[in-house]
Amino acid sequence: MNRLRDLREDRDWTQKHVAGLIGVAANTMTNYENERRQLTPELIHKFCDLYGVTADYLLGRSNTPQPAVSKMDTELLQAYHAAPLEIRKIVNAALEAYRPASEQSADVS
């Protein structure tokens, strides 16, 4: 399984095109796709950003290309944790008001 090749071909891109986008020589791109050269963490990040996939998907550790949590969700969670306690209480109250009644009653038991 070679996800690098599959992702590139899905977009009808050439190795030369992708190599230019990530800043490597075309023959280096060939070596990555043919698994003759290991990816560095920096290149893994570049490929993940380029193709919009997770590192686990790129490396064959998962069959799910997209993260379970969106980038926006992650940023919102980080902002929530960084907010003062009073702001978090307001957010909690607002979220609680929008929870379905079935979920609210399940918390009581």
Q: What is the pLDDT of residues 35-86, one digit of tens each?
A: 999 999 999 999 999 998 999 999 999 888 887 677 888 899 899 999 999 9
Tell me, yes or no, whether 34 lies in a domain: yes
Q: Is the pLDDT of residue 18 over 70?
A: yes
43 and 89 belong to one structural domain: no
Mean pLDDT of the chain: 87
In this structure, what token pair is assigned to residue 73? 């969700």
Total Cβ atoms within 10 A of residue 24:
17
pLDDT band at 102 (very low <50, low <70, confident <90, very high): low
Quick check: 108 pLDDT over 80?
no
How much is the pTM? Answer: 0.61
Distance of CA 29 to the CA centre of its chain: 22
Confidence at residue 101, expressed as pLDDT on a 0 to 100 scale = 67
User: Dmax of the chain from CA atoms?
Assistant: 62
The amino acid at residue 72 is M
Do 26 and 47 have their domain in common?
yes
88 within some domain: yes
Q: What percent of the chain is predicted at pLDDT more than 90? A: 63
Residues 76 and 102 in one domain: yes
Tell me if 28 sits within 8 A of 37, measured CB to CB.
yes
- Report the number of distinct structural domains present in the chain: 2
Domain with 22 in it: 3-58
